[in-house]
Structure formats: structure tokens, C-alpha cells
Amino acid sequence: MKTYLKLSILFLTFNLYAEFDTKCSILLTKRLQSTEDAYKDALNKINQCSQYDILSVTSFLEMPVSKIYITDIVQTYCMFDHEIITLIDSNTSNLSCVHRGIARSERKFLNQ
């Protein structure tokens, strides 16, 4: 009986670790040492994530800039049939959502 209990606990432990392997963390900060655009770097990292990964984006940029970037990431990469959590703050902004796997294509509007 004790062996069965130990194996059950071990199995549950591996399942819990597996859940945390699906997180894809992205950080948006100002680049002091380079001229690279932090947002382009973040998009490159997001594109390396897999479908159903949990996107976790943390931004230390100014609130108006964070709001634009996080809104764009939500519209481009997040699944709308799963929970999307955002916190836009003057100090730190956060986004958590389920990655859809590929970016939505940008809509092109014709000028009339």
C-alpha cells in the first residue's frame, strides 16, 4: 500500500512539473545597451512559443506604450476562447493568455 501511495505522489509531482513547462515568458524593457527594439525582440520570442503555451508578458515600459503593445499581442497571439488577464499599471503591466500557435494575419483595408 505504501509503495502504491509513493508512486501516486511521484506521478502527480511529474504532472505538476509538466504543467509549468508550457509557460512562455516575455519581458519588455528599455534597451540601454543596444538599439534593438524591445517590442520586435518580444515578438520574435513569442513566435518561438508553441500553441497552447501560456504567454506571460511583463512590461516595464511607460503605461501608454505598454497598453499599445499588450493590446497588439492580445489581438495577434491570444486565443479568445480562453481567459485573458491583463493588468496595465504605471509601474508594471502584465498579460497572461493562451498562445494560439500562429499570429493572426493583419487585415488590410482598401482605401476608397
pLDDT in tens, 81-111: 999 999 998 889 999 999 999 998 876 667 6
Place of cell 509531482: 13
The answer, yes or no, to whether residue 8 has pLDDT greater than 60, is no
For 72-105, b/e burial (b = at least 16 CB within 10 A) is ebbeebbeeeeeeebeeeeeebebbbbbbeeeee
Helical packing angle, 38-47 and 63-77, nearest 10°: 20
Please give the residue that has the higher pLDDT: either 36 or 29: 29
Q: Which residue has the cell 497552447?
A: 52
51: pLDDT confidence band, cut at 50, 70 and 90?
A: very high
**Biggest distance spanned by C-alpha atoms of the chain:** 75
